[in-house]
């Protein structure tokens, strides 16, 4: 397989993969394109390579930046803006974990904590099942949160070798 074809496949699959995880296809594709591009690209470059509109690129690029996955890059002497993606997989992963945790997991755990304090007869099986379910999810979520924090703080090597050896 040639580079051009492989790139296409990678970009298209990364887009499809992303949609299954609630990331919009174009955003994932832009990310994929930037990850395999050795040099920074302009909005124009991305528009051409992915066949999407200026506005679309602009909005999704902004999102990618807010996720900390893409940086604006100034090239001395150039008027236009360039964009470049973080290429280190470990950093990408921890960045995504951190953001999703902050944006989604934390608020959910907060809500569950409130729902647990429901008033009602603990003898009522409806009340009991509700409290048990909610607190079960909350406990699990809290542990997951701790584990993710740990991952984010740790370094890649810990993940690649250290953790694994403990449970071979």
Q: How far is 159 from 29, CA to CA, in rounded Å?
A: 27
Q: Is the Cβ of residue 51 or residue 161 nearer to DNA in the bound state?
A: 51
Residue 43 interacting entry, from DNA, a second copy, none, C-beta within 5 to 8 Å by type: DNA
State the binding string over 52-91 for DNA (x if CB under 7 A, else -).
xxxxx-xxxxx----------------xxx----------
The residue with tokens 């009340």 is 127
2, 11 in Cβ contact below 8 A?
no
Nearer to a second copy, 5 or 79 (CB): 5
List all residues 6 or more positions away from 85 whose beta carbon is below 8 Å from its beta carbon: 31, 34, 35, 37, 64, 69, 70, 71
In this structure, the chain runs to a length of 168
Number of residues that bind DNA (CB under 7 A): 22
3-state class of 114 per DSSP? helix
CB of 6 to a second copy, least distance (A): 5
Name which of 26 and 94 has its Cβ closer to DNA.
26
| Residues in contact with DNA by the rule CB under 7 A | 19, 24-27, 42-44, 51-56, 58-62, 79-81
């Amino acid at each position: 397989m040639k580079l051009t074809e492989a790139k296409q496949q990678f970009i298209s699959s990364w887009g499809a993969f992303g949609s299954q995880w609630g990331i919009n296809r174009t955003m994932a594709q832009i990310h994929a394109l930037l990850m395999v591009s050795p040099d920074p690209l302009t909005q124009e470059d991305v528009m051409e390579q992915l066949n999407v509109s200026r506005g679309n690129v602009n909005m999704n690029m902004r999102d990618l930046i807010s996720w900390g996955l893409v940086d604006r890059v100034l090239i001395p002497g150039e008027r236009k803006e360039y964009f470049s993606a973080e290429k280190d997989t470990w950093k990408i992963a921890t960045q995504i974990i951190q953001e999703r945790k902050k944006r989604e997991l934390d608020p959910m755990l907060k809500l569950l904590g409130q729902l647990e304090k429901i008033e009602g007869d603990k003898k009522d099986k409806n009340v009991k099942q509700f409290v048990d379910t909610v607190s079960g999810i909350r406990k699990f979520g809290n542990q997951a949160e701790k584990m993710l924090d740990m991952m984010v703080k740790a370094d890649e090597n810990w993940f690649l070798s250290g953790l694994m050896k403990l449970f071979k």
